[in-house]
Structure 1
Amino acid sequence: MPSVSQTTFEQTLADFFRERLQAGADDLDPRPREETLWYLGSLLARFGDSAQVFSYDQGEVSVRPLALLYRDAVEVDSHYHRCLILRQLGDLALFMGALFPENYSRRGISRDYFIGMGGGAYDYLGENARDNRQVFSELAERFARLLELVATVCGRDREMDETDILQLFQRWRETGDPRLAAQLREMGVVLPDAGGMH
């Protein structure tokens, strides 16, 4: 159970991030829902405690790879636990993709990876979670823009470059995923008709 000082710290930090998210959201069209901004502020405050980000596995402290979280979600029998794991996956993908993209880029992992993993996790939650379905749906549909908002709020505001957008477009062409199409359109990319794709 968190101590009183830890709880106060998270509340104060959440308020700080919510104020910054509110200001940053004014530049987005359409503006994210208030509930989504509230969720993001709480997420950033929660991850202000490194114990929420790192895990201890096989004698090492590290961030659990998103692919392993995904595998855990697929293999678990309980719907409730699957949703918990996918929420952790989505939250970590958003946090790590916004704050540490260069660390992963050096290992050949682009923002598209975080967008795919996090957006997919939130998409499932938008349809299956017990609570906050509208929040998770918006996080899934607007993951790329909200990742940039979080990066800006945290002072890591690198816009998606041409390579990132091209990789996202290529992934959309391969999968036809409407969620990726919505993200591309939100960035101003005009997509060809689905019938004209080969």
Structure 2
Amino acid sequence: MFEAFRNGTPVELWQALVQQAYERTGRRLDESSESYLVFVLLRYQADHLLLSHAQGMDWLQALELAGRARADALRDVGDRCLLVAGLFPGLAERRRVSVDYFISIGRSAYQGVADATRQAYAALYEQLARVYRELVHTLNAIRTLPNIAEAANLRALL
């Protein structure tokens, strides 16, 4: 397993961490939710401003947009809330809100994407909204894996 962390691509690293989370929790995501989760981790692994966003304000601003811009902005809010709730729950405490605050905004954002997009994307984002807590649970398991983040050289994100 640690070989993947030493020599793997970023996709392989995140997939290995997700697999370790499954082993730890005994719970698995469906294939499309897992793929999306890995995509989100890849997309935001170098985002140094991730934790600086005011998700509630970003969500409200996204609701004022229309069409593709609205869907994209809501997706971004949903993704960032997912990462904060799953990997950085201490941020909620520091901001004096609950992790459920981020989960609620994130689920609403994904449902907004589903409502604003074509049928194929709508189905994916409806599903992601339904399993949002499971996605958070998987990320939380990744966050608490012993020595995995260090071995994967991913400490900067986690």
For residue 57 of structure 2, the aligned residue among 36, 53, 68 is: 68
Q: Counterparts of 1:35-46 in structure 2 under 5 Å?
A: 35-46=32-43
Q: How far apart, CA to CA, are the structure 2 residues paired with 1:98 and 1:36?
A: 15
1:191 maps to: none
User: Given the two structures, how large is their TM-score scaled by the length of structure 2?
Assistant: 0.74
Q: 1:156 Cα deviation (Å)?
A: 7.0
**C-alpha deviations, 1:39-79, integer Å up to 9, x for none?**
1011111111125x44xxxxxxx622111211211222x21
Contact 1:66 1:89 (8 Å CA) reproduced: yes
Q: Percent identity?
A: 24
The DSSP-based 3-state class of the residue aligned with 1:132 is helix
**C-alpha deviations, 1:25-51, integer Å up to 9, x for none?**
4622xx422111111011111111125
| 1:90 to 2:78 alignment | yes
| 1:128 to 2:116 alignment | yes
For residue 137 of structure 2, the aligned residue among 148, 157, 160 is: 148
Structure 1 residues 120, 132: closer, same or farther in 2, change over 3 A? same
Contact 2:82 2:106 (8 Å CA) reproduced: yes
Q: How far apart, CA to CA, are the structure 2 residues paired with 1:144 and 1:36?
A: 12
For residue 102 of structure 1, the aligned residue among 73, 85, 90 is: 90
- Give the greater-gyration-radius structure (CA): 1
Q: Counterparts of 1:45-60 in structure 2 under 5 Å?
A: 45-51=42-48, 53-54=49-50
**C-alpha deviations, 1:144-177, integer Å up to 9, x for none?**
12101012123379xxxxxxxxxxxxxxxxxxxx
Richer in helix (by share): 2
1:3 maps to: none
Q: How far apart, CA to CA, are the structure 2 residues paired with 1:15 and 1:88?
A: 23
Report the RMSD for the aligned CA atoms in angstroms: 2.4
Amino acid at match of 2:43: R
Q: Tell me which of the two structures has the higher relative contact order, counting C-alpha pairs closer than 8 angstroms and 6 or more residues apart.
A: 2
Structure 1 residues 98, 126: closer, same or farther in 2, change over 3 A? same
1:79 maps to: 67
1:7 maps to: none
User: Given the two structures, how large is their TM-score scaled by the length of structure 1?
Assistant: 0.60
Q: How far apart, CA to CA, are the structure 2 residues paired with 1:35 and 1:154?
A: 21
Q: Which segments of 5 or more consecutive residues in structure 1 lack a partner in the other structure?
A: 1-10, 55-61, 158-198
Contact 1:15 1:41 (8 Å CA) reproduced: no
Q: How far apart, CA to CA, are the structure 2 residues paired with 1:100 and 1:154?
A: 8
Q: Which segments of 5 or more consecutive residues in structure 2 lack a partner in the other structure?
A: 1-7, 147-158
**C-alpha deviations, 1:160-198, integer Å up to 9, x for none?**
xxxxxxxxxxxxxxxxxxxxxxxxxxxxxxxxxxxxxxx
